[in-house]
A and B are shown apart, each in its own frame.
Chain A
Amino acid sequence: MKAPDFSYFEAQNIEDAIKYKSEDDEAIILAGGQSLLPALNMRLSSPSCLIDISKINNLNEIKVEGDFINIGALATHSDVMNNDLIHERLPCLVDILKMVAHAAIRNKGTHGGSIAYGDPAAELPAFAVAMNAEIILNGLAGQRIVDAKDFYLGLFETDLKSDEILTAIRYPLLGHNQHLIFDEVCRRHGDYAMAGLMARVELEQSQIKNLDLVYFATGDKPNIAQNTAKLVINDGYDYERLKKSLASEIDFAGDLNSSSEMKLHLATILINKILNKLER
C-alpha cells in the first residue's frame, strides 16, 4: 500500500527538531525510516508531519568516554558493525546486529531509532537493558538521562516525552569478568526472532556470580527474569523448574511467529544455549 498524506520538515539541528515537535503533537520523528515507513505504507500510522532528523550533523558519532562507549542516535546498524571501536570494546554488538534485518535495511536503520521505537521483538532494546545502558534524551527543558531498564514502559511505550529526541545511548564497558551472551531462535536469517535472550554474566573463579536475563520477542517489552536468574546461579539448568519460574514472572504474548507456549519453551531452552556458550 501507499503512505497517507503528511508534510515533511528537514531539521538542520536538534533544537529545530525539538521546537517543531513540541509545537505539533501529531508530528513524528523520521530517522532511518526502516520501521516508520513500513508502518506508514501499511497505514498503521497517520502523522501530520515527518520531522526528518537524518541530516543532522554529528549525531552518528561513536566514541569512548571514560568507562562508557557512546553511540550517537543516527549511527546506522551498518555504521556500528563497521566501527573499529565497537569491534575492540563491544564486539558482542557486531554479532547481535548481524541478526537484525538484512544489509540493505541495516544501511539505513539507526541505533537510536531501534532503541526509541521499542519494538518488543527487537534485539537492541533488550541489549540496552541487559547492558545497563543510559539513554540520553534532549527536550525543551534540556538533557536528561534515563536508565534503559526504566525507559521501556509497555508495548511500544517508552518514557520519551512529546518534545524529546533520543540523541545517544551510553553503554558501560564490560569488565574482563563480565560477558554479554546472546542467542535467539528465528525462522529465517534476519527475521524478527520467535524468542531471544540477552544474558549479562559476571564470573568469579569460573562460577557465575551475577546473572541478568533479558528476553525479547516474548512479551510487551524487554522482559527481565530476575528470579529465574537466581535459580540458574544456584542450581544450574533444570528445564521444568526454569520453565515454571519463567511462566510466573513473564507474561508471554504470542505473535504471528509463535504462540505464547512456544515462546515459553524457547525462552527456557535459550538459557541452556547461553550456558553452553559461556566459556569457563
Chain B
Amino acid sequence: MSAKNSVNISFSVNGENFDDVTVPTRQHLADYLRSQGLTGTHLGCEQGACGACTIELDGVAVRSCLVLASQANGSSITTVEGFDDEIMEKVKNNFLKHNAFQCGFCSPGMLMTTKEIISSKKKLSRDEIRAEISGNYCRCTGYQSIVDAIEESINEIN
C-alpha cells in the first residue's frame, strides 16, 4: 500500500489519448482540463451548485469540480470542445437561434445537460425541462430562451 501526492494516470478526452500523465492528487478534473487548454469547461462555484463545469465522464454527466483528476484514470471524457456530432450541431444551432446565451458562461454546462436530456429519449414538458436544468445557473438569459432551445431540440431529435 502506498499513497502519494501525485499520481500517473491515463485517459482520453474528446477521443485524444492522454497517456501516463502526472497529476497532483488535490487537483480536480476541471483544473486539469483547463490547464491543457480545454478552457470550454468553466468554473463558477467549485462546490457543485452552478453546473458550469459539467462534463461527460464515461457516458454520464458529472461535475468536473467534484471529481479528482486522479479518479479519472482509465476514463473516457467528453467536454464541450468535443461536441461536433450531428446531434450536438443541431442543439448548438437551436441555442443560437433562440439566443439561449448572452455572456456564455453557463453554456458549456447547459449544453452538457441538454445532451443528457436528449440521450434519455424522453419527451419532456417545459416544466420538466426546467426541473432538469435546475442544477445549472444562468445569470443572464432568465432561462426562457434556454427552455425554448432545449424544447425545440427535443422535438427535432427525439
Question: Chain A residues in contact with chain B, CB under 8 A?
Answer: 1-10, 16, 19-20, 30, 33-34, 37-38, 40-42, 49-50, 52, 54, 78, 101-105, 107-108, 188-190
Contact = CB atoms under 8 A, between A and B. Distances in A.
Nearest to B132: A103
A8 B68 contact: yes
Interface stretch (B33-41, B58-66, B97-105, B150-158): B58-66
Could you say which interface size class chain B belongs to? 35 or more
B28 interface: yes
Contacts, number: 106
Nearest to B2: A9
Chief secondary structure at chain B's binding surface: mixed
B51 interface: yes
Most chain A Cβ neighbours within 10 Å, of B63, B112, B113, B132: B63
B4 interface: yes
Contacts of A4: 26
Nearest to B127: A189
17 contacts: A4-B26, A7-B25, A10-B73, A33-B67, A34-B48, A38-B47, A40-B26, A41-B46, A42-B47, A101-B135, A102-B51, A103-B113, A103-B132, A104-B62, A107-B60, A108-B66, A188-B134
B116 interface: yes
A30 B55 CA distance: 20
Given A2-B46, A108-B62, A108-B66, A37 B51 contact: no
A8 B132 contact: no
Contact of B71 (A40, A52, A105, A190): A52
B7 A102 contact: no
B1 A41 contact: no
Given A5-B26, A38-B66, 14 more contacts: A5-B24, A7-B25, A8-B68, A9-B1, A9-B3, A10-B70, A33-B66, A37-B65, A103-B116, A104-B61, A105-B63, A105-B66, A189-B130, A189-B134
A3 B26 contact: yes
Nearest to B24: A5
**Which of B25, B26, B65, B66 has its CB near the most chain A CB atoms (within 10 A)?**
B66
B5 interface: yes
